[in-house]
Amino acid sequence: MISELFRLITGRTGDDRDTDFVEDVALKEARPPSRAVERLILVGWVIIIAKCFVVAWAIERYAIPIQPGWVIVPTLFMAAICTALYYWKD
């Protein structure tokens, strides 16, 4: 639509338009999952679980006036989203 408007404004006939816009399409082979990244995800989950226990313990031990779920639930939710995005990327 914009190209037609440009043609109308400039007064060109449109015969000089490039009709071979797409010259080639190449598909890449899907890469296999990276074992190093999967190990890193596993290590991250172990650290997150340890953090959840430490947060629950610290809130109880030092009588911090919040529920541990306010820290733990968003952490687990975001970690689950990141993990799901990695495994569902293809």
Q: Is residue 58 part of a domain?
A: yes
Q: Is residue 73 part of a domain?
A: yes
Percentage of residues of the chain with pLDDT beyond 70? 87
Query: 3, exposed or middle or buried, with CB in 10 Å at 0-12, 13-18, 19+?
Result: exposed
- pLDDT for the residue 6: 74
Q: What is the pLDDT of residues 21-50, one digit of tens each?
A: 667 788 888 778 889 999 999 999 999 999
For 32, list phi and psi in degrees, rounded to 5: -70, 155
Q: Is residue 90 part of a domain?
A: yes
Q: Residue 57's domain spans which residues?
A: 33-90
| ∠ Cα 62 53 34 (to 5°) | 145
Q: Number of folded domains in the chain?
A: 1
Q: Is residue 86 part of a domain?
A: yes
Q: Is residue 20 part of a domain?
A: no
Q: Is residue 8 part of a domain?
A: no
